[in-house]
Structure 1
C-alpha cells in the first residue's frame, strides 16, 4: 500500500498543480507529499516533475506515468466508494460547481437543507461564471444554464430559465422601445460575459452582436445599470421578474425570446453514480422550485 500512497500523492500534485494543495486534499504536510513523490521517482529511476518556486511541470516520463495511473487510481477509489456506499446513504465529500449568482441564491440553500438531512455528508461548493471541466477538476456535479454542448456528460433538467431584454421606463422615454431585432443597433446595450444576445426568429436561434457603454461579467451589476437607465440588458428571469412586476423595468422583444435556456445538473457518464450524487440530484429536482422566485407573466409586447 505504500506504493499506492506514492502514486496518490503524485496524482494529486499534478491534478491540483501544487504540493500544498495536494497536502491539504490528502490531509498531510507538504513535506510528506514531497517525500512520497521523491520516493516514487527513486522507485521508478526517473524524474517525474520539474519543480520551481512558482509551479510544477511534468517531464515526458511524468506525463506518460500520469496518463496511465490516473485512470487506474480513479478506478481504485471508485471501487472503495462503491463498497462503502452499499448501504445507499449519502456520505463522504460531494463536490459541485455553479454560476455565482444562481448558486448563491438558489443552489446553496438547497445544499444546506440537504446537509441537515444527511449529517454524514461533506460538500465543497465552487461558484464561478467560468465553465469548468468537471472531470479534470474533480467535481461530481455542475449546474449549467442554457443549451448544453454535446459531451460525455449526463444532463438532468432542473427547471425553466427565461431570458428577458429589459430597460428602465426612464430609458425608454429617451429612446423608443425596439420592436424588431434590427432596432437594437440604436440602443445602448449593457453587455455581459458574451458580446452577443440570443433570440429565436421563426423557431431558429439567432445570435445578435451587441455593444454599448458598459460591459461586465456580473449579472447584478448589469441589473443595477439597467435599473438606473443606462441602457438595455439581456438577463435571466431570476434577476428581473421582481422588477418587471413592480414596473421598475420593461421587457421588450418578447416575441423573439430564446426558448432553450433551461437549468441543468450534469455529471460524468463514466463515474460510479454514488448514493450522494443520486440522492442530491433527486433532491434538487424535487425542491428547486421552492427557492426560485414566483414565475411572472411573460410580459409580451
Structure 2
C-alpha cells in the first residue's frame, strides 16, 4: 500500500500528541515521522495537522480521514495477528483513562491482572480527574462516574455508585444537622473540582451550587478534611464506607441521594472494534460483576 507507512506515522502523531512521542512508539526519529506526515499531506493536497512549537493537533476537516485511517490500521494489525498469534494470543495497544482515586484503588489491580494474562498487549493507563475526550485524545476506553450523559459513545455499566453527604460528629456538635437542600447554603461545603453537588429531588437530578473555604482535587484529601471537622463533604460510597462504619462521619440527607448513579465503561462507537478491546471490556465487566467497590473498603 503506497501510503501505509505515512498513514501509520500520521495516526501515531494524532494519538500521541507529538512527533517525538510517535517516533518513540514506532522506533524511528522524529524527523522521519515529520517527513512521512509532510509527504502524506503533499500527496493528498491537504493540511492534516495544526503545528505550533508546543503542540500538534488534528484539523477538524481531517477528523473523518483520521478515524478511517485508525480503524484501517486496527484491521490490518488484527489481520496480521491472525497469522502470527499462537492460540489466539492478543497483541496491540490499549489506551484507558479513569478518575484517579477509583483507578488507583480498584481499576488498576484489574488492569494489571489483564496485562499479566495478555503480555502481547501494550497498555497505557492514564489516571486523571479531567473529563477526557476519548476520540480527540486517542483513548480506546474510558471509565465514567455518576449518571451517564447522552453521548455518541457506547457504554456498559460496571457497578453501582452512591454519593453521600457527610459530616463529622464534631462538626455537628458546632453546627445544626442540615435537613433540606436550602440548609446547605449555611454550611461550609468542602468542594472538589466542581462548585456543585449532585442531588435528587422530586424525581429530578439537580446540580446544587455549594460554597465553602476549602477545595481539593483529591477525594482522599476531602475525606480527611471532613473527618477533621472542617465541613460537610459529598463523596462516593467507596471513599466513605470505613469512616461511616467507624462513626468518624455521619451521613445526612439520605433522601436526596441520586438512585441512578453508577460506574460505566465508555468507548467510541466505531464500525470495527479490536478483539483486544472486546477482551478487556468483557474482563472488567466480569471482575466488577462480582465486586463491590464500597464493600471492598468496609
Does the pair score TM above 0.5? yes
CA shift for structure 1 position 292: 2.3
Deviates more, 1:23-32 or 1:135-144: 23-32
Asked if 1:83 corresponds to 2:79, the answer is yes
1:251-289 residue CA offsets vs partner (Å, 9 max, x unmatched):
100111111210001111214222222222222122124
Check 1:270–1:37 CA distance in 2 against 1; reply closer, same or farther (3 A cut): closer
Structure 2, unaligned stretches of length 5 or more?
none
Distance in 1 separating the partners of 2:5 and 2:129: 35
1:169-221 residue CA offsets vs partner (Å, 9 max, x unmatched):
11010002111211111211111111111112232223221001112222111
2:203 corresponds to: 203
Instruction: Please give the residue correspondences for 1:1-301 in structure 2 after superposition, counting only pairs within 5 Å.
Output: 1=1, 3-41=3-41, 43=43, 52-56=52-56, 64=61, 66-67=62-63, 69-84=65-80, 86=82, 88-288=88-288, 289-290=290-291, 292-294=293-295
Contact 2:134 2:141 in 1 (8 A): yes
Check 1:30–1:2 CA distance in 2 against 1; reply closer, same or farther (3 A cut): farther
Distance in 2 separating the partners of 1:262 and 1:48: 38
Check 1:251–1:44 CA distance in 2 against 1; reply closer, same or farther (3 A cut): closer
Distance in 2 separating the partners of 1:57 and 1:178: 48
Distance in 2 separating the partners of 1:130 and 1:109: 21
TM (norm. structure 1) is 0.87
Distance in 1 separating the partners of 2:210 and 2:177: 16
Check 1:263–1:85 CA distance in 2 against 1; reply closer, same or farther (3 A cut): farther
Deviates more, 1:239-248 or 1:274-283: 274-283
SS class of match (2:223) = helix
Contact 2:8 2:73 in 1 (8 A): no
TM (norm. structure 2) is 0.88
Contact 1:134 1:141 in 2 (8 A): yes
Contact 2:90 2:121 in 1 (8 A): yes
